[in-house]
Amino acid sequence: MNGGCLREYSPHTSETSLPVILRTETKHMSDTIDGAATPAPQLPPKRPEKKRNRTGWIVGIVVVAVAIIVAAVLIIVNITAPKSAEAAPIVVKIGTSDSSQPYWAILKEKALAQGIDIEPVNFSDYSQPNPALEQGQIDMNIFQHLRFLSQYNVDTGNDLEPIASTLISPLGLYSQKWKTLADIPQGGTIAIPNDPSNQSRALFVLQSAGLLKLTGDKFAPTPADIDAANSKVKVVTVDAAQTVLSMASVDGSVVNGNYVLDAKIDPKSALYADDPNAPGAQPYINLIVVRAADINNPIYQKVADLYHDPDVLNSVLAASNGTSVIVQGFDGPKLRDLLKTIEAQVTASN
């Protein structure tokens, strides 16, 4: 019986059991108001504390640092680099046999002002500049006359073409031993160039000087055409570049103009020279020559025009002591027509 009954309140009941009953009743009353269940007020849930994203800060700092470095590099490059790619000059290599002459410095300066960097390439042997041009080692050459070019084209089957004229230089007879033609003894020896075009011209010079006589009326005579019985001198053929050096061992040498200037010989000291103003001198018009595919190249034509600048021409004439003649009235097409005529003559004489 004692285990299943609620114990009644009694003044004799111990005080220790009262708080338990009161706490139970208080909780029951809070759960029921007017018969409806009302939830007890609660605090909002505490949000979890976010962890700081340090990686994002680090990436941002790195990006800013890289941007600053790149900007600095670009500024340095802009300061030290050429102002623009367009300022780079176009290099034009020109084969020649007289690159030591003063007019080249003037021509280079004027060309550079036009955005063209001229590089003279000197050849000591006349046989070299044309093959170098054909092979693309150089872009142009300035060393030869029409007669020389025609012989080269015919002999090799090539088709190098002139785009402009330069001058006619007289071909003269020089001597270290004698002061006049009359001083040259009977049976004396004269050195002449051995290339066909200058050899023939040298023989014509000696005939005009009265030192020898040629048989027949050939376009391209050789030493075999000399009438020895009616000639005062005999000839020996040497490389054109050796004609000056040969002067010490012969009575005279026929020397091309550029070698005269290189040896610092006064062109006016020649015992005799042909006339660059004579109508028959046309085959000896000196040229600016290019490959056939380049005859309309505007850069090369500009170089040809600059050669005819008065400052350049005055330097050319000064070097020759006034003996050379500047050629006027022969443009590219006219020169090419004349070249074809002379080539036909060379072919017929072979």
- Where do the domains of the chain lie? 87-169+282-349, 172-274
Confidence at residue 4, expressed as pLDDT on a 0 to 100 scale: 42
Enter the tokens of residue 231.
């000639």
Hey, how many other C-beta atoms are within 10 angstroms of the C-beta on 350? Answer: 11
Helix (H, G, I), strand (E, B) or coil at 122: strand
* Regions of the chain with pLDDT less than 70: 1-57, 59-60, 62-67, 70-86
Confidence at residue 236, expressed as pLDDT on a 0 to 100 scale: 98
Q: Do domains 87-169+282-349 and 172-274 have the same CATH topology?
A: yes
CATH class of the domain comprising 172-274: alpha beta
User: CA of 267: how far to CAs of 224, 260, 318, in Å?
Assistant: 29, 7, 11
CA distance 241 to 223: 19
Helix (H, G, I), strand (E, B) or coil at 210: coil
Residue the block writes with tokens 């075009």: 197
Confidence at residue 2, expressed as pLDDT on a 0 to 100 scale: 45
Confidence at residue 41, expressed as pLDDT on a 0 to 100 scale: 53
| Assigned superfamily of 87-169+282-349 | Periplasmic binding protein-like II (3.40.190.10)
Confidence at residue 63, expressed as pLDDT on a 0 to 100 scale: 63
Question: How long is the chain?
Answer: 350
User: CA of 60: how far to CAs of 35, 68, 70, in Å?
Assistant: 62, 13, 16
Residue the block writes with tokens 């030869």: 144
Encode pLDDT of 316-348 as tens digits.
999 999 999 999 999 999 999 999 999 999 999
Confidence at residue 87, expressed as pLDDT on a 0 to 100 scale: 74
Confidence at residue 42, expressed as pLDDT on a 0 to 100 scale: 58
Instruction: Please name the amino acid found at residue 163.
Output: I
Q: How many CA atoms lie within 13 A of 171 on its CB side?
A: 29
Q: What angle do CA 103, 124, 303 make, to 5 degrees?
A: 35
CA distance 150 to 340: 8
Helix (H, G, I), strand (E, B) or coil at 277: coil
Confidence at residue 350, expressed as pLDDT on a 0 to 100 scale: 84
Residues 6+ apart with CB under 8 A from 52: none
Residues 6+ apart with CB under 8 A from 77: none
